[in-house]
Amino acid sequence: MNRLLLILFALLAGPLFAQSTWIDSSTLTWADPSWTPAGSQVWQPVSLLAWPEVSTHGILLTWTASPTPGVTYNIYRSAVSGQEAAPALATGVTTPSYNDQPLADGLSYCYEVTAVLPGAESAFSNESCATVPVGTP
């Protein structure tokens, strides 16, 4: 009986999953490149991480690149978590990493990243915060 139910489920649910190209496991949402979010033509970067960088007295940012071809990235920085900062700290970044340095020791910063095409900017990535290391390397 259980085997019959499993087969029935697979037959009925299969077409639902066949529509999606891939799943973005970092946010657990469907990410089908044929669909774009309302008001946007650019997929946002995901999995932004901010790392203290001792050798430069800065903060190294890394993220998973937008699957949208040909994008550049805008980096936004704020001293307050949850507050989007404008204008962008850096624009036209071409790789999915950025080293914000030099910064004052012991201060904390929060970052968000967007993907950009001419005339279109994605939604913000997740926010990631880090504290600048204290002392010399």
Judged against a pLDDT cut of 90, whether residue 83 lies above it is answered with no
pTM for this one? Answer: 0.68
Burial level of 65, CB count in 10 A (0-12/13-18/19+)?
middle
Residues of the chain with CATH 2.60.40.10: 46-131
Q: What is the DSSP string of 66-86?
A: PSSTT-EEEEEEESSTT---S
Average pLDDT of the residues in 107-134: 93
Q: What is the dihedral of CA 129, 79, 126, 113, to 10 degrees?
A: -110
Tokens of 129: 């915060």
5-17 pLDDT tens trace: 434 444 444 443 3
Q: Tell me what the pLDDT averaged over the chain comes to.
A: 76
pLDDT digits (tens, 9 = 90+) for 20-77: 333 333 343 434 443 444 444 788 899 999 999 988 889 999 999 888 888 999 999 9
Structure confidence at residue 17 (pLDDT): 35
- Can you give the pLDDT at residue 136? 61
pLDDT, position 71: 92
The whole-angstrom separation of Cα 34 and Cα 81 is 33
What is the reported pLDDT for 23?
A: 34
Strand, coil or helix: 1: coil
Tell me the pairing of strands 46-53 and 72-78.
unpaired
In the CATH hierarchy, which fold is given to the domain comprising 46-131?
Immunoglobulin-like (2.60.40)
More confident residue, 83 or 107: 107
Among residues 73, 107, 105, 103, the alpha carbon closest in space to that of 90 is found at: 73
Beta bridge partners of 120: 117
pLDDT (0 to 100) of residue 135:
74
Structure token digits, residue 126: 């997740």
